[in-house]
Structure 1
Amino acid sequence: MIAPGPTQYQMVFCDIDGTLLDSTNRISPETGQKVRELDRIGVPFILVSARMPSAIFPLQRELGIKAPVVCYSGALILDEHGEPVKTVGIDREKAVRIEEFVNKEWKGVCCSAYCNRDWIAGNVHDKWIVQEQSITASVPKEGGISDFVPQGGQVHKLLCMGEAEAIADLAVALGKRFSGLSVYRSKDTYLEIMDGAVSKSGAVRYLCKLYGIPPQATVSFGDNFNDIDMLLATGACFAMGNAPPEVKRQAQNVTADNDHEGVLAGLKQLSFVKKRI
């Protein structure tokens, strides 16, 4: 539970899928109202996700708030105007080698790439791409990394989608074949691949420094393994009720699940600094 005392929190970091969004990919009206209340008193509510910018900003507009957003789990941070303030990517040549490896050795796995605001897919009609498009409302460009990323450029994320067993095996294979990567499963069927320096906790530290807010005065919400480092980086944290047991074990608090307004329930337990009315 939240430790007793007069702590007043100054910033919120919130994962999107499985956390802010319910199982129908919606934000409850009551949660949205609470987020707007925080925005009005000057408490930044930071959306943190493995999603690309075009799949995050519509949610921010729906909430009616202005704040930086953390894309690709921290590989790209954009300010409230959509301008990049931090970017960490995989070198284009290395990303092409990963793409070629997956396409050649893992025929049943769909590999796509993200660079800044572009989503690049070899086959935009692949069932996995169509599924992801329906979830995020993002539109992919058809082709390979070398078609869209210039020489000397970077890729912020590669996403591999496939059956759970193949994805588990691919995660192991990539770890053996390539060094300096962050490779994790965001779902049993999704494998996220980014530069090894990328983390949600790194984004927390960066934005705390930018705002001059100590990490101890921030709170975070998450539901999966890739959220653990973020949860441990903030002064207070909540694992969602739908999170795996290991995530709940490491979190300071466990709130309701994403279908029962877990974010709202957690926010109601906290006191926040009023910076403006």
Structure 2
Amino acid sequence: MSATGVRTVEWIVTDLDGTLVGRDLRIVEPNLAALRRFTDAGGSVVVATGRGEESALPYYRELGLATPAILYNGARVVDLASGAVLYRRCLSVAAWARLTLLFDELPAGVWPVVFSDGRAHVLADSAALREYARRDRIGLVRIGSWGELPLDEIIKVMLICERPAQVGAAEAVLAGFAGVLGSGVTLVRSESTYLEVLPAGATKGTALRELAAAQGVPMERVAAIGDNPNDLDMIQAAGLGAAVGDGDEGVRAAADIVVADCALGAVADLVDRVMPRP
């Protein structure tokens, strides 16, 4: 714990949904004020999210950030001010080709969303997809077939499930596929109804290590906070890993500290711990 008003970390790395941002899709007010206090004291804030550029940009602007953003659960690190991609991974051509065949084996009520060239592509329309687009504040581009997308520029695949129970069934379909290709993809649950297929090695933790090394920030000077399994390796990579109080049980068990619930200002609680108020 630091002396009053003194920072003990250089960076706070925060997830968005369920961590910094509440169910109303707004930054929880105490979090916003606390992060401004942290940056005013010379600290830096890095956003690490499953969202893409279009979806993350409004929060980035509201926070007044100039730092790179970890997007697509670590498949991209992007300077959102300029749009420059600083770090990137894509699904291999073999992995993408195999996935398109497996889409037909997914349970009814599981809807693929494929990200390429900064846009989200779908083949169909459904209430679940519309709700996903509303929540992430993105447009969905309707295409006629997956063959219209470039084979070597697939950033990630989201499987949007109508019910939480379907995530396990979808994961079972993909589990054998992941095994066949060895380390060809990374599977991660990012919400109770979201399963994501990412390029091999693409995680928030991997991207954070790359970014911190590039900017000369030791990991022991980084605090990271999140609520879901896709945040786990990021939390474990940081010098101080914090779990949201009402987040996933496994994440809470693995974290160094457990802070307040999301709606009560989880990030603000973390700021108070690494930089107590005077």
TM-score by length of 1: 0.89
What percentage of aligned pairs have identical amino acids? Answer: 21
CA-to-aligned-CA distance 1:159-210 (integer Å, 9 cap, x gap):
1112333320221221202322111222232111111211111111111112
SS of 1:150's equivalent in the other structure is coil
Q: CA deviation at 1:268?
A: 0.9
Q: Does 1:192 align with 2:196?
A: yes
Q: Does 1:231 align with 2:235?
A: yes
SS of 1:24's equivalent in the other structure is coil
Rounded Cα–Cα distance in structure 1 between residues aligned with 2:10 and 2:117: 29
Partners of 1:9 and 1:217 within 8 A in 2? yes
The count of aligned residue pairs is: 268
Which amino acid in structure 1 is aligned with residue 273 of structure 2? Q
Quote the residue 2:86 is aligned against.
Answer: 85
Q: CA deviation at 1:36?
A: 2.4
Alignment equivalent of 1:206, drawn from 202, 207, 210: 210
Q: Does 1:108 align with 2:112?
A: no
Quote the residue 2:174 is aligned against.
Answer: 174
Quote the residue 1:262 is aligned against.
Answer: 266
Quote the residue 2:59 is aligned against.
Answer: 59
The 1:145–1:76 alpha-carbon spacing in structure 2 relative to 1, beyond 3 Å, is: farther
CA-to-aligned-CA distance 1:106-158 (integer Å, 9 cap, x gap):
333101101241101112x31121011110110011114322x324x221110
Rounded Cα–Cα distance in structure 2 between residues aligned with 1:119 and 1:257: 31
Rounded Cα–Cα distance in structure 2 between residues aligned with 1:248 and 1:221: 10
Rounded Cα–Cα distance in structure 2 between residues aligned with 1:17 and 1:230: 15
Q: CA deviation at 1:3?
A: 9.2
Q: Does 1:243 align with 2:244?
A: no
Partners of 1:69 and 1:77 within 8 A in 2? yes
The 1:103–1:128 alpha-carbon spacing in structure 2 relative to 1, beyond 3 Å, is: farther
Quote the residue 1:216 is aligned against.
Answer: 220
Q: Does 1:161 align with 2:165?
A: no
Which amino acid in structure 2 is aligned with residue 76 of structure 1? R
Q: CA deviation at 1:100?
A: 3.2
Rounded Cα–Cα distance in structure 2 between residues aligned with 1:7 and 1:264: 14
CA-to-aligned-CA distance 1:189-241 (integer Å, 9 cap, x gap):
21111112111111111111121010000100100111111111111121001
SS of 1:259's equivalent in the other structure is helix
Q: CA deviation at 1:83?
A: 0.7
CA-to-aligned-CA distance 1:18-41 (integer Å, 9 cap, x gap):
100112111133321222233344
Which amino acid in structure 1 is aligned with residue 58 of structure 2? P
Aligned-pair Cα RMSD in Å? 2.1
Q: Note the residue ranges of structure 2 that are not aligned, 5 or more in a row.
A: none
Map residues 14-25 of structure 1 onto 2, 5 A cutoff: 14-25=14-25
Q: CA deviation at 1:92?
A: 4.2
Rounded Cα–Cα distance in structure 1 between residues aligned with 2:223 and 2:63: 18
Rounded Cα–Cα distance in structure 1 between residues aligned with 2:15 and 2:246: 13
Partners of 1:22 and 1:259 within 8 A in 2? yes
Q: CA deviation at 1:93?
A: 5.0
Q: Note the residue ranges of structure 1 that are not aligned, 5 or more in a row.
A: 273-277
Partners of 1:96 and 1:146 within 8 A in 2? no
Partners of 1:35 and 1:45 within 8 A in 2? yes
Quote the residue 2:142 is aligned against.
Answer: 142
Rounded Cα–Cα distance in structure 2 between residues aligned with 1:8 and 1:104: 50
Rounded Cα–Cα distance in structure 2 between residues aligned with 1:146 and 1:240: 40
Which amino acid in structure 1 is aligned with residue 89 of structure 2? V
Which amino acid in structure 2 is aligned with residue 36 of structure 1? R
TM-score by length of 2: 0.89
The 1:104–1:245 alpha-carbon spacing in structure 2 relative to 1, beyond 3 Å, is: closer
Which amino acid in structure 2 is aligned with residue 47 of structure 1? V
Quote the residue 1:47 is aligned against.
Answer: 47
Quote the residue 1:36 is aligned against.
Answer: 36
